[in-house]
Structure 1
């Protein structure tokens, strides 16, 4: 009975890891759609999001079944509760990639981004993909040290987001209000994507150690 239970828990973890990979891939395609004004890629991201949403619902359902039928305690209970929260985090990451793709689609055939901020979003997109891959690795390895290091990539994303605002606030900005709104929203989408990856790392640390890490813990562990 317990062997079957742990097999189900391992399958749930593998599913969550696959979802992280899909979310990272979605943000990669959404970024390319944004930078290249590629309508086909944007549409692909929008269509593919249904798969991530369906997997999130299935993962939550599997976790609740384990709670109801197995009555887990201690570490097993932590793992299942954290899995429910992680499923929501990953689904949100996919939704943020969806929002990026929708802006690219709405502005097509024009580019949504002024050329001077393309470099920021190319780098933010690269970091988002790395964060998706890192979250996937952390989920599958359950390594708290690797989980703590995700915070470094989030710091880099935060730095880019702050620098982006210096461009928007510059008196030389000449692209109008609509472009400023798009850039502001897009920057926030990438920042939040990174934040959810950090939350996944926190939840893995909680699964393994039973402790909720704060920012100082993450900084000193890495």
Structure 2
């Protein structure tokens, strides 16, 4: 019985790693769809989000069932509660990638991002995908130090996010209202994706340390 219980605990961690991998792939593909006006890629991201949602629901059901049946305490309970919250963050990251893909689909065959801002969005997409990949490794390895370092990359995304707004407010640039709205939303999606990755990392630190520094 205890072996089965610990196998179920391990499966929760494996699911989190799988979700992180999927949302990272989704963001990479959504960014390609956005910048290349690639409709098939946009449609693929939108459809694939169902798999992330299914993993999220399945993990929540298994986790709550373990809490109810096994009545875990101490570290095991902390693992399960933290996993519920990490799963929610990862599911939201998948939603944000889908939002980006939907903007790409809506503006097809045009590109929703003005040409001068495309390098900025390409960089935000690259960093976001890297963050998701690091989250997967952090969860798998229970790597507290890597989790703490992840916030540095989030700071870069925040700076890029601010740079987009500075461009929108600059007198030297003149975007259409439609483009300005798209860019504002898109930049926020990338910024929030990175924020949720940091949230997962912080929960991992709490999970491993119990809040003790």
Instruction: Output the TM-score relative to the length of structure 1.
Output: 0.94
Q: RMSD between aligned alpha carbons?
A: 1.0
Give the deviation of 1:173 after TM superposition: 2.1
Give the deviation of 1:3 after TM superposition: 1.9
Q: Structure 1 runs of 4+ off > 4 angstroms?
A: none
For 1:189 and 1:34, how far apart are their aligned partners in 2? 13
Give the deviation of 1:141 after TM superposition: 0.6
Give the deviation of 1:5 after TM superposition: 1.2
SS in 1 for 2:132: helix
Does structure 1 residue 36 correspond to structure 2 residue 33?
Answer: no
Tell me what 2:68 maps to: 68
For 1:185 and 1:163, how far apart are their aligned partners in 2? 14
Structure 2: 5+ residue stretches without partners: none
Give the deviation of 1:163 after TM superposition: 1.2
SS in 1 for 2:53: helix
1:174-189 pair list within 5 angstroms: 174-189=174-189
For 2:9 and 2:172, how far apart are their aligned partners in 1? 55
Number of residue pairs aligned between Structure 1 and Structure 2: 213
1:11-30 pair list within 5 angstroms: 11-30=11-30
Instruction: Output the TM-score relative to the length of structure 2.
Output: 0.98
For 2:4 and 2:208, how far apart are their aligned partners in 1? 21
For 2:25 and 2:174, how far apart are their aligned partners in 1? 33
Tell me what 2:45 maps to: 45
Give the deviation of 1:43 after TM superposition: 0.3
Query: Contact 2:147 / 2:205 at 8 angstroms: preserved in 1?
Result: yes
Give the deviation of 1:92 after TM superposition: 0.1
